[in-house]
Each structure stands twice: as C-alpha cells, then as structure tokens.
Chains A and B, each alone.
Chain A
Amino acid sequence: EAGVTQSPRYAVLQEGQAVSFWCDPISGHDTLYWYQQPRDQGPQLLVYFRDEAVIDNSQLPSDRFSAVRPKGTNSTLKIQSAKQGDTATYLCASSFDSNQDTQYFGPGTRLLVL
C-alpha cells in the first residue's frame, strides 16, 4: 500500500512569491491534515478535512494561506505572498477517519523563503 505522497520535496522562494504544495493521502483515508513544522519545533496543525469539507482551519493564516480538497482525495495548500516567517517544513497526513485514528505522515515539503 502506498503511503502519503507530497510534492515538491523542496521549494525556495523570494518574499512575496506564491507557492503551492500538493498531497495525495493513503487510498481510502477520508481525513487529511496539513501541518507546519518550523525548525526544531513540533508540527502545528494548520487545517484538516473530512472528505472535501474543512473540519477546522482556525490555525490557518487566512490572509495568505488557503487549502482545498475538492474531490475528497488529493489536496493543495497554497501560500500567497510568502514571508520569511513561513520558512518551515509543510507536512501532510491522513487517517482512516476523524474519530480517534492513527495519523500517517508524508515526507514533507521543505520551504525556504529568502
């Protein structure tokens, strides 16, 4: 069974540029999570979906970040006008459902904003 896949693996931007991250969860998992992990810190949840619906996006900086999962499978996280403070690894995870279940993580996208 394939795990969670993410692309790209690395991205380097100048401040003010936009970037999109893509995630393909494990087949059959209805819940998908996006986390931000700054260097030397634990992952911090940005947003998560059950199927195509957002369950919680309270930690997503809504002025510059957006996330969609239109068909309840793959998901895209986009940063408009990146800032140096957005430098971090962006992790995607999935679980079979949103009711107390193990989360499986992808390899992450390392973002550097210059």
Chain B
Amino acid sequence: GDKVKQSPSALSLQEGTNSALRCNFSIAATTVQWFLQNPRGSLMNLFYLVPGTKENGRLKSAFDSKESYSTLHIRDAQLEDSGTYFCAAERSGSFNKLTFGAGTRLAVCP
C-alpha cells in the first residue's frame, strides 16, 4: 500500500476560507517536508519539520511522529495558493531520502 497517503486528493476552496490537508505515514518517518508545485511545475519548499509545529504567515504545519501523520493548515486562502501540495517523509536512517505522497490538488476560486 501507499507509504505516504495524502488526503484529500483534490479540493476546491472559496477565497478567504480555511482548510486542512493531511498525510498519513505507514513508514517510521523522522522528518517531513511540505512542498507546493505551481501550475508551471516548480516545487517550492514550504516546511521542513521534525516532530512539532511550525507556522509561516497563513500556513501552519504539524508533524506527530508517534501517530504517524502530518497536517498543513491554510488560513484565509488566496488565489496564489492554488497548485498541488505534496508531503514527503524521511525514514529513519535513510540519509534524507524522501518518499512523496501523490499530492493534493487545490483550486482557490474567487
């Protein structure tokens, strides 16, 4: 089965609303990275997480290694937040080798 499972697979939001994306891991993840791939295909790093929480502007992310999941919260969604969000997990002892999920496609509408 999927080692990194993302949900939902697709999402549509009204501008100004909030949402949460989730990753569940079936591997022992030690760190998690979240990326946004814009419509042109560029992958931008949003967060690098050890177990705990980080916040950056309207984005907040948490990683719970014991319960094997991570979340990404988007507050006050804007049109430029549209794209595909990927989470990727590093397995213990794998020297920064990342396993990616299949992504969540987000469309923010006016």
The range of chain B's interface size is 20 to 34
Also in contact, A98 and B42, with CB within 8 A (given A43-B86, A103-B33): no
A102 CB contacts on chain B under 8 angstroms: 33, 45, 48
**A42 and B86 form a contact (CB under 8 A):** yes
Q: Which residue of A lies closest to B90 (CB)?
A: A100
A45 to B43, CA, bound (A): 14
A108 to B48, CA, bound (A): 21
A95 CB contacts on chain B under 8 angstroms: 96
* Complex interface bits, A83-109 against B, C-beta within 8 A gives 1, otherwise 0: 000000101010101111111110110
A13 to B52, CA, bound (A): 46
The answer, yes or no, to whether B100 is at the interface (CB within 8 Å) is yes
Also in contact, A99 and B33, with CB within 8 A (given A42-B100, A44-B100, A105-B42): no
The answer, yes or no, to whether B1 is at the interface (CB within 8 Å) is no
A110 to B35, CA, bound (A): 19
**B97 and A56 form a contact (CB under 8 A):** yes
Q: Which residue of B lies closest to A41 (CB)?
A: B102
The answer, yes or no, to whether A31 is at the interface (CB within 8 Å) is yes
* Complex interface bits, A28-64 against B, C-beta within 8 A gives 1, otherwise 0: 0001000000001111110010100001100000000
Q: Which residue of B lies closest to A31 (CB)?
A: B96
The answer, yes or no, to whether B83 is at the interface (CB within 8 Å) is no
